[in-house]
Amino acid sequence: MDSEIKEEIPVHEEFILCCGVETQVLKCGPWTDLINNQSGTRPKLLIFIIPGNPGFSAMYVPFAKALYSATKRRFPVWIISHAGHALAPRGKKILKSSEDPNAEEIKDIYGVRGQVEHKLAFLRTQVPKEMKLVVIGHSIGSYFSLEILKHAPELPCMLIIEELFPNDSRTSF
């Protein structure tokens, strides 16, 4: 029964030009544009998943559907790809993101620091400032999440870190 519920949850795929790079965003829930939705139906919280390497967003869809279902479909669940890790299929529309006024020129968008700046620019341009965030990071996504908190304390974030091998000393910080 539970798997049937998850199957009927639609997942909306968008490609956004963020920091000059095609970025795949997978979205569970009816809210595809939180910035321009000023209605009373706009949620007050967003669950934001930052994947581990290789940054393949689709791998996290079953988890996103389970979260969306567990929250009784009250909050959107979004998954963002890493910059440069997903290309839009031919003919797929790529949405342009407004520029982040806080963003500096990202010299190495594909490096670790650049990936953090990429996620920050996305959050600042695509998510309303007053919206609360639950940020879930997996593997390197956990590191990106910690860096987001450090470099953007103004974002109303709650952080959930998921390590792939929690008892493996190689993954401990």
> pLDDT tens, 45-96?
999 999 999 878 999 999 999 999 999 999 999 999 999 898 888 888 888 8
91 CB-near residues (< 8 Å, 6+ apart):
none
Please state the φ and ψ torsions of residue 13, each to the nearest 5 degrees. -105, 130
User: What token pair was written down for 90?
Assistant: 């031919």
Q: Helix, strand or coil for residue 67?
A: helix
Question: How far apart are the C-alpha atoms of 145 and 173, rounded to whole Å?
Answer: 14
> pLDDT tens, 113-167?
999 999 999 999 999 988 999 999 999 999 999 999 899 888 888 766 665 444 4
pTM of this structure: 0.84
